[in-house]
Amino acid sequence: MSQYSRAVQLALAHNETDLAASVADRIGDTNPGLRKKLWLQIARKVISESASIKGAIGFLKRCEQLRIEDLIPFFPDFVVIDDFKEEICAALEEYSRHIDALKRDMDDAARSADHIKADVRALDARYAIVEPGERCQICRLPLLARMFYVFPCQHGFHGDCLADRVIKTGGPIKAKRVKEVQEAVGRGTYVGKKRERLVKELDELVGAACVLCSDVAVRGIDEPFITKVDNKEEWAI
């Protein structure tokens, strides 16, 4: 009936520690917090009634979740530390290994942060060369005719062409926000820092990734070449 807590309490009330342990182990990995809680109840019972501290510790090793620091509060004050010094040493060694692993992770994170900082500094010096004859990858008109975006992949787009493509492929939420910001910037009702924030947001929405070779293009790979507005005869072989 999955009444593990009541079953363990009943088993301990009748001094059936082995039965209580088997009930607690039935939980398995489905609820590790409950399993440890029940094993702590068993540990309190075993330690309080065991004549041998080593024997009690040996019994409690059946649960890998229990640590020596979990059991120390259950021991009487007169217990000699020699009775479980091996367990304390093993716990300290495990903590030492864990600390070493954390130090390695911290070192790796610090190196990654240094690499990211170097990449960010390099962005300030990155540039792209736009030739006079280059054309927008969407409308095929000269790129320099009006405001444009150029990505590291060297694909260039007019700002309005790119915005239209993002509206079509970016999903309803992003498309709605792009339209709202475009209208707010186009009306010219905002000036100063408010306008700067809107322009920056529009750049981030529209210029986040190249629509031809980024994940945006991968997500649209199953879209048909021929749409409802196209003339199918033009695609005839």
Q: Please indicate, yes or no, whether the overall pTM of this predicted structure exceeds 0.85.
A: no
Give percent above pLDDT 90 in the chain: 30
Q: Look at residue 217 in the predicted model and tell me its pLDDT.
A: 76
Residue type, 69: E
Q: How open is the CA angle 220-222-227, to the nearest 5 degrees?
A: 85
Give percent above pLDDT 70 in the chain: 87
Q: Look at residue 55 in the predicted model and tell me its pLDDT.
A: 67
Q: What residues contact 23, with CB distance under 8 A and at least 6 apart?
A: 4, 7, 8, 11, 38
User: Is 50 a residue whose pLDDT tops 80?
Assistant: no
Backbone angles phi, psi at 148, to 5 degrees: -145, 165
Quick one: average pLDDT of 191-217? 89
Q: Look at residue 38 in the predicted model and tell me its pLDDT.
A: 87
Backbone angles phi, psi at 3, to 5 degrees: -90, 65
Residue written as tokens 């716990």?
Answer: 91
> Quick one: tokens of 150?
């150029």
User: Is 181 a residue whose pLDDT tops 70?
Assistant: yes
Q: Look at residue 95 in the predicted model and tell me its pLDDT.
A: 78
Of residues 8 and 94, the one with the higher pLDDT is: 8
Residue type, 117: K
Of residues 32 and 124, the one with the higher pLDDT is: 32
Of residues 126 and 60, the one with the higher pLDDT is: 126
User: Is 150 a residue whose pLDDT tops 80?
Assistant: yes
Three-class SS of 108-163: HHHHHHHHHHHHHHHHCCCCCCCCCCCECCCCCCEHHHCCEEECCCCCEEEHHHHH
Q: Look at residue 126 in the predicted model and tell me its pLDDT.
A: 79
pLDDT in tens, 77-129: 655 556 566 766 776 787 788 888 999 999 999 999 999 988 888 877 778 88
Residue written as tokens 């070449």?
Answer: 225
Of residues 77 and 217, the one with the higher pLDDT is: 217
pLDDT band at 67 (very low <50, low <70, confident <90, very high): confident
pLDDT band at 167 (very low <50, low <70, confident <90, very high): very high
Q: Look at residue 74 in the predicted model and tell me its pLDDT.
A: 72
Least confident of 120-129, 146-155, 193-202: 120-129
Contact between 144 and 134 under an 8 Å Cβ cutoff? The reply is: yes
Q: Residue 48: count other Cβ atoms within 10 Å of its Cβ.
A: 11
210 burial (CB, 10 Å; 0-12 / 13-18 / 19+) is buried
What is the rounded average pLDDT for all residues in the chain?
A: 83
Q: What residues contact 70, with CB distance under 8 A and at least 6 apart?
A: 40, 43
Contact between 165 and 149 under an 8 Å Cβ cutoff? The reply is: no
> Quick one: tokens of 21?
């342990």
